[in-house]
Amino acid sequence: MTDPLRVAMLGATGRMGRSIVALLAADASGVHLSGALATRSDPAIGQDAGSFAGSAPLAVVITDDPRRALAGANVAIDFTRADASLHNASLCRELGVSMVIGTTGHSDPQRAELEEVARGLAIVLAPNMSLGVNVLLRLAELAARALRPDQYDAEILEAHHRDKVDAPSGTALELGRAAARGRGVELQDVAEYGRQGSAAGSRARGGIGFSVIRGGDIVGDHRLIFAGPGETIELAHHAQDRSGFARGALAAARWVAGRPAGLYSMADVLGL
């Protein structure tokens, strides 16, 4: 009999953490929750992780000690914050625990630090874990390659709940990178993150624009528009709930366990 995959959930009391813990509680495919981490000030510390996530008890107590949460784990799934994910990645490398990072908002230096950690640890880093979004990213690159930037303007619109702290979202930025790859340019050279007043001037040819909405409990909406002469092409993904992201995170956890060190993406996981 194959030993069960033991997963530590880092950020267990957040929106995604609860969804993944609940999915693990119902999972019968040999994936078990082995530890659950929350921040030190979280009132859920000491509670049963399954009960807190709205599922059956799991006999896993939420802790604020990363080493305790990672004890016995094969893979850690991280949905925390950018700075915390760096600390967690370094600890996972020390303990030999593979990692899935769905945390977003990493700066360029922070991403470089994760790339360095990945020299000694298998990490799947993805701003969005859903199958649909990752297919969308591939379609975005193909569309951008076919639609000339001097004729088709690219605009990305995204919407999330009021408590999301990074903007644009990691998925929106990844959409921008996909479109930029299709056009053979770097996103940082063509991105337009804000327009206000007449001083903004007319739209630059070849630019990739971003618009951000924050409000209510919107799970996540992303839309890429190519506006050209006489026609508009739209690629969109709308998340009804977080279950798709949670299933994708578990698929990534299964895939990364036992992999050689390296920084992987959901495209690797899904064979795209």
Burial of 15 (0-12, 13-18, 19+ CB in 10 A): middle
The rounded distance, in Å, linking the Cα atoms of 189 and 6 is 42
The rounded distance, in Å, linking the Cα atoms of 18 and 257 is 22
The rounded distance, in Å, linking the Cα atoms of 203 and 201 is 7
Catalytic residue among 32, 87, 106, 160: 160
164 is catalytic: yes
Residue 154 token pair: 């690219």
161 is catalytic: no
- Where in the chain does DSSP place strands (E)? 5-10, 31-37, 62-63, 75-78, 98-101, 122-125, 153-160, 191-192, 208-214, 221-228, 231-238, 262-264
Which bin fits 137, alpha (ψ -120 to 50), beta or left (φ > 0)? alpha
Rg, the chain, Cα only: 20
153-160 and 221-228 strand pairing: antiparallel
Catalytic residue among 106, 164, 222, 237: 164
Which candidate, 220, 233, 223, 74, places its Cα nearest to that of 151?
Answer: 233
Per-residue burial over 196-210, b if 16 or more Cβ lie within 10 Å, else e, is: eeeeeeeeeebebbb
Angle between helical axes of 131-146 and 243-256 (0-180°, round to 10): 90
Indicate which residues carry an active-site annotation: 160, 164
